[in-house]
Structure 1
Amino acid sequence: MMQFMAIRQQLLEQINSGQLDPGQKLPSERQLAEAFHTTRVTLREALAVLEAEGRIYRLDRRGWFIAPNPWRYNPSDLIDWTTDFAAQGGQFAIQKETTTLASAEMSQQMHLPPFSAIYQAEGVVSSVGVPVGYVRTYLQPDYYPQHQQQTMSEKLSANVTIHQCHWTSRWEALEGAPMAALNVAVGTPALKLERHWLIERAGQLQAIRVDEEWWRQHAIALSSHSR
C-alpha cells in the first residue's frame, strides 16, 4: 500500500472509531508528518484523499477539521432555505437580494423577452458556524410579483404548482463569489448543483425558478426516492 494511503487509513480508523470527533481540529501538518514519520508532501496527499471523501475539511489559514455527518439532501424537494436545514442543525443567511437583468440563457429558460428583469437572491448555508453551501436563486417575476414586500422565506414558499424539477450535478473548482462566500482557497473542490423548477404552460415546460448551489464535499449526501 502506498504510504499516503496507509496514513489515510489510520486517520480514517480514528474517525470511524469516534476517537476524533466532528468539528475537532487535527494537529498541524508539521505535527502529523512527524507523528507518521513522513514528509508533508506525502501527508498532504493523504489529507487530500480524506477531503475528497468528505471526511475532513480545511478552513483557510486555520487548518484541518473532522467533518460532521453530511445532511441528507434530495434535490427534487423544493426547499425553504430558512427552515429546512434548521432541522439538521444548519443556518441560512441572506447575503443579497436584487432585481437584475436576465441573461440570454435565463430568458430562454423562463420564456422571457430580451432585457427582462428577474429576481435574484444569494445566501449562505452554515453548519456549526462554518459556511458549507452557497446558494443563488432566480425567480420569474410573473410568478413572484410581490417580492419587494415579502421575506425570502415567503418568496420561496409562494403558492405555485411545480410540474417538474430537473437537476444536474458536477464537481467544480471554486472561484469568485462562491469561493469568497465559503471562505476557502481558490480551486477548492465543491459540488455544483443546478435545479430548474418547471411548470406546464401552453403545452410547454417553462422554468420559473432556478437554483445554483455550491456545496463543500462534507456538507451533503444526495438522496432520492421513487414515487
Structure 2
Amino acid sequence: MAIRQQLLAQIDRGLLPPGKKLPGERQLAETFSTTRVTLREALAVLEAEGRIYRRERRGWFVAPTPCAYDPSQLVDWQQCFAQHGGQFSWVTQKTPMASAAVSDQMQLPPFAQVFEGEGLIQIAQLPVGFVRTFLHSDHYPRIWQTGEQATLLNTPADADVDWSSSWEALDSDRAAVLEVPAGTPVLKVVREWNIQHGGALRTVRLDQEWWRQHAVALCGHSAR
C-alpha cells in the first residue's frame, strides 16, 4: 500500500501524466527496494482502481480520465466513444440457436434462433471494451442477413432499459480480446431492453459488456 500511495501521489500531482509509461517492473522494484511480487501486488491494486492499465508486452501506463458512460441511454457504441477517439467494430455476427438462458430471457420458443453479435471498442488502438448483444428476431428481421449494421439505434423507440453492473474476472477468451491476462478483473454491464408485448414485458435485446477498469465511469439512472 505504501508503493501504491507513492505512485498515486505522483499521478495526482501530474508528475506521471495520462498515457505516460511507467518504468519497467524490475526498475520499479529496485526503486522501492522491494520484490517484483510485492510490486506487482501494488500495480494490481492501482489497475483495479482504474488508475493504470497494462498493455501486453509493452508494460504499464497511466490511465486517462475515464469516459462518462450512461447505459440507460439509447445511443450507439460508436457514437458514445467517438468523442474520446474510440472506434467500434463488429468481430462476429451470427444467427445461432438460442441458449436456454437466452431463450428464457427473451421468451423464445424451443430451438428458436437469435441474432448474436460480438464487438470491440478501442481507444487509441487499445481494446477497452468487449460487447455481446442478442437480438430478438421478431423485432430485428433484417439484421445480419442483409449486412445491416446492428446498433442501439435499431432498438424500438418505446423500449425501456434495465441495467446492472458488477465486477468479474475475465476468462481466457475475453482476456485475449482485451489483451490482458486471464483472471484480470473487469467491469461487467448487462442491459435488458424491454417492450410491452401481449400485456407483459418482452426482452427484445440483451447486451453484455466487459470493460477495462480505467475505461468508463458509469452514470445515469436505473442502475443496480
Corresponding letter in the other structure for 2:217: A
Q: Which residue of 1 aligns with 2:146?
A: 149
Is the contact between residue 161 and residue 199 of structure 1 (CA under 8 Å) also seen in structure 2? no
Task: Show CA shifts across 1:161-209 (max 9, x none).
Answer: 2432111211111114311210111111111111100001111111000
Uncovered stretches (5+) of structure 2, i.e. residues with no partner: none
Q: Which residue of 1 aligns with 2:179?
A: 183
Is the contact between residue 196 and residue 211 of structure 1 (CA under 8 Å) also seen in structure 2? yes
Deviation at 1:156, TM superposition (A): 3.3
Q: 1:112 aligns with which of 108, 111, 120?
A: 108
Q: Which residue of 2 aligns with 1:6?
A: 2
Alignment of 1:33-48 (within 5 A): 33-48=29-44
Task: Show CA shifts across 1:62-112 (max 9, x none).
Answer: 211111111111111123122221022211111111111111121122121
Task: Show CA shifts across 1:121-177 (max 9, x none).
Answer: 111111111001000011001111111225325x53226124321112111111143
Is the contact between residue 162 and residue 197 of structure 1 (CA under 8 Å) also seen in structure 2? no
Residues of 2 paired with 1:50 and 1:209: CA distance?
Answer: 34
**Residue-pair matches, total:** 221
Residues of 1 paired with 2:72 and 2:155: CA distance?
Answer: 17
Is the contact between residue 18 and residue 62 of structure 2 (CA under 8 Å) also seen in structure 1? yes
Residues of 2 paired with 1:160 and 1:121: CA distance?
Answer: 18
Secondary structure of the residue aligned to 1:166 is: strand
Q: Aligned Cα RMSD in Å?
A: 1.6
Q: Which residue of 2 aligns with 1:171?
A: 167
Q: Which residue of 2 aligns with 1:198?
A: 194
Residues of 1 paired with 2:172 and 2:34: CA distance?
Answer: 35
Corresponding letter in the other structure for 1:195: R
Q: Which residue of 2 aligns with 1:123?
A: 119
Is the contact between residue 172 and residue 181 of structure 2 (CA under 8 Å) also seen in structure 1? no
1:223 aligns with 2:207: no
Corresponding letter in the other structure for 2:183: G
Q: 1:29 aligns with which of 25, 28, 51?
A: 25
TM-score normalised by the chain length of structure 1: 0.92
Residues of 2 paired with 1:136 and 1:55: CA distance?
Answer: 26
Corresponding letter in the other structure for 2:138: D
TM-score normalised by the chain length of structure 2: 0.93
Residues of 1 paired with 2:148 and 2:153: CA distance?
Answer: 10
Extract structure 1 runs of 4+ deviating beyond 3 A.
none
Task: Show CA shifts across 1:29-48 (max 9, x none).
Answer: 11011112222222122111
